[in-house]
Structure 1
Amino acid sequence: MLKSKLIIMLALVSAMAGCVSTQQARVDFDRNSEIATSHYKTFAWLNETKALAESVDANPVMKVRIDNAIEQAFIAKGYQLVKEAEQADFTISYTMGSRDKVKVDSLPVMYRTSFMWGHSYYGGIGMGSDTRVRNYTEGKLAIDVFDVKSHQPVWHGWAVKRIKTSEQDNPSKAIKMVVEQVVAQF
């Protein structure tokens, strides 16, 4: 009896851990293998606006948070920020956006039996479904690195994350975490 309770408990903990991990950002990158980056020491923003393109409904306060988080992440990796792009080893820029999404799940409900007069003696067996509709926001951040000498793209890193309500109310921590995860791939 104790062994079966332990197995059930482990299964529940594993399932909960799986649910938690789905809340993390999906992070990936692509690298231009023809350009060496081991000598890089300094970086600058590609342009004054810092972002490659801004969406029409971009929050300017959020943009400042992202600008600062990206700068700090590259500085934390040991690179020095310089003002003039021509003086840097590489330049950086980024794009960001969010999209409202809808997820619909339709799950079968357990068979139910009922005994009604006029139906079969053994009762009717029916199958229903439980439909759940969830609205959520998915955010995406992509950071690009360009080689100053060759003017070629060197690296493109990105993250996609479902944005929780708590992160919308206090986005600084989530922004910092996602930016650090992306820049860690560089």
Structure 2
Amino acid sequence: MLKSKLIMVLTILGILAGCATTPQARVNFDRNNDVSTTHYKTFAWLKETKVLAEPVDVNPVMKVKIDQAIEQAFIAKGYQLVSDAEAADFAISYTMGSRDKVKVDSLPVMYRSNFAWGHHYYGGLSIGHDTRVRNYTEGKLAIDVYDVKSHQPVWHGWAVKRIKSSEQDNPSKAIKSVVEQVVAQF
């Protein structure tokens, strides 16, 4: 009876693990409550390069896509882009990057054992471990908003996302989605 319950639980866990999808972007923000943003109508880029600090291995085509996605996201929220940063209500900039990561999972695996006094012995079954190693790339995008008049940082929003290989081949949709999720927090 207990053996069949254990098998059923492990089967359900296996099914759930198989149904799991790649996690969506983790999005969050921090706000400077000392600066009011209620009067904001216009924005500009803080720097001509738009990105605050460009990574060494930046893809220039992807950078242009991120620039455009950020502009469009703020325009969609009702803000007007102006070319003169000193005439704007707020200025924006961003940072981006990626890093390769490794994930190691160790899952219990049951197997029949003739040895009756092992450490993991239970009713003729022994439990071993199946170790899986996965390599993946995690991308991060952070958008910063500065008050033009006070020169104070107002808002910092960021997203961290596991980048699928299909997104590496055609990043436009993922960039737009992540930027919209971050800017929606502003």
Q: Classify the TM-score, shorter chain.
A: 0.7 to 0.9
- CA change 1:90–1:17 in 2 (3 A) is farther
Identify the residue that residue 74 of structure 2 maps to in structure 1. Answer: 74
Identify the residue that residue 64 of structure 2 maps to in structure 1. Answer: 64
Q: Mind listing any 5+ residue stretches in structure 2 that lack a counterpart?
A: 1-11, 116-122
TM superposition shift of 1:23:
1.8
TM superposition shift of 1:107:
1.4
Distance in 1 between residues matched to 2:153 and 2:50, nearest whole Å: 16
Identify the residue that residue 34 of structure 1 maps to in structure 2. Answer: 34
Kindly, what percent of the aligned residue pairs are identical? 80
Distance in 2 between residues matched to 1:16 and 1:69, nearest whole Å: 34
- What is the TM-score with the length of structure 2 in the denominator? 0.84
Aligned to 1:92, the other structure's residue is in SS state strand
Contact residue 110 and residue 125 of structure 2 kept, 8 A: no
Identify the residue that residue 172 of structure 2 maps to in structure 1. Answer: 172
Question: Could you report, residue by residue, the CA deviation over 1:9-65 in whole angstroms, capped at 9, with x for unpaired residues?
Answer: xx89x9479823x52100000000000001000000000010010111111111000
Displacement over 3 Å in runs of 4+: 14-18, 123-127
- The residue identity in structure 1 corresponding to 2:128 is G
Q: How does 1:59-138 map to 2 (within 5 A)?
A: 59-114=59-114, 126-138=126-138
Identify the residue that residue 118 of structure 1 maps to in structure 2. Answer: none
Aligned length: 168
TM superposition shift of 1:97:
0.2
TM superposition shift of 1:83:
0.2
Q: Mind listing any 5+ residue stretches in structure 1 that lack a counterpart?
A: 1-10, 116-122
TM superposition shift of 1:106:
1.2
Aligned to 1:109, the other structure's residue is in SS state strand
- The residue identity in structure 1 corresponding to 2:20 is C
- What is the TM-score with the length of structure 1 in the denominator? 0.84
Q: How does 1:151-166 map to 2 (within 5 A)?
A: 151-166=151-166
Distance in 2 between residues matched to 1:80 and 1:68, nearest whole Å: 14
Identify the residue that residue 147 of structure 1 maps to in structure 2. Answer: 147
